[in-house]
Amino acid sequence: MTRLSGRLVIATHNSGKLWEMRELLAPYGIDTVSAGELGLPEPEETGATFVENAELKARAAAQASGLPALADDSGLCVDALGGAPGLQSARWAEIGPGGPRDFAAAIEKVEAAIRATGAEPPYRAHFISVIALARPDGAVESFEGKVDGTLVFPPRGTLGFGYDPIFLPDGLKRTFGEMMTAEKQAIPADGSPALSHRARAFQAFAKACL
């Protein structure tokens, strides 16, 4: 795939994801605009996998804008819940169908669901992110990042977004909710894996496309 240059649409209406993606892209001098800023509608996420959802969001934004588009689909997968909330991670936070999202309530829902299974800690889980790049001509490519860890209750930290306050990456003593974005999203200069799932997916994307 041809290396990226010029303007890029970040195909999200999620302010947290938008912030993280812009921070990751900043060192490359890529001019970005979000799907929300362009007034593009959010496509229905009908894919059966993170890859399918990321690619359909990227394709929709590229076709609507006439620009290359970058989309992320990500989620929290909890072992005790058979991988849930997984693809439904954002929907678990919705207040009513298609309504605003309350991740504090979603975290309580995750905890209650785990308790109901009778599972004992540590509660194993992983975050996964798939970044897809689509071009107006229909070409699309996707890149995956994953980070393993455990869930902690009560939540810890007010940084980050989503389920970050309950996710403790393996080998660390602070949750994602206790880390500044710059730390969580840092790309190691030596090529070793980044800390977060989204940064790991971005590493693969950057190597191929930037």
Tell me which of 72, 73, 164, 170 is the catalytic residue. 73
Return d(Cα 57, Cα 9) in angstroms, integer: 11
Which H or E run contains 154?
A: none
CB crowding 19-41: b at 16 or more within 10 Å, else e = ebbebbbeeeebebbbbeeeebe
* Residue 59 CB partners (closer than 8 Å, separation 6+): 69, 134, 138, 140
Amino acid at site 125: A
Largest interatomic CA distance in the chain: 52
Kindly state the tokens that stand for 162. 């989503």
Instruction: Say whether 79 is catalytic.
Output: no
Which H or E run contains 147?
A: strand 140-151
Residues with catalytic roles = 73
